[in-house]
Amino acid sequence: MERITKVTAGQRVAWHGPMGTEPGWTEVTPGCGDKNGGYWYCVTHAEPFQNQMQKDGHISEYAGPRKRHQLAWICYAHGAEVP
């Protein structure tokens, strides 16, 4: 099994949005192609990343053969998307 996987369109994921928003469930949509207007989110650990370095650090921190990460792209306009 891959250590890092992507969410799939139609998948329901628990999403803990930016500070000040209520956590909840959302359905993943196909990617819109805008990779500048949003941020990465690790569904497995409910952790958002403001930049690529934070995402890479998170994956390195939880390194090891049994540590898995399922990633989503949170588009500012459309919510959770397939990266």
pLDDT recorded at residue 1: 45
pLDDT recorded at residue 82: 92
Domain count, the chain: 1
| Residue 31: domain span | 4-81
Q: How far apart are CA 36 and CA 4, in angstroms?
A: 21
Q: How far apart are CA 26 and CA 15, in angstroms?
A: 7
pTM for this structure?
Answer: 0.80
Q: Which two tokens stand for residue 40?
A: 């990465």
Question: Per-residue confidence of the chain (83 residues) as pLDDT tens digits?
Answer: 468 889 999 999 887 665 555 667 888 999 898 778 888 999 888 888 988 999 998 888 766 666 789 999 988 888 889 98
Three-state SS annotation for 8-68:
CCCCEEEECCCCCCCCEEEECECCCCCCCCEEEEECCCCEEECCHHHHHHHHHHCCCCCCC
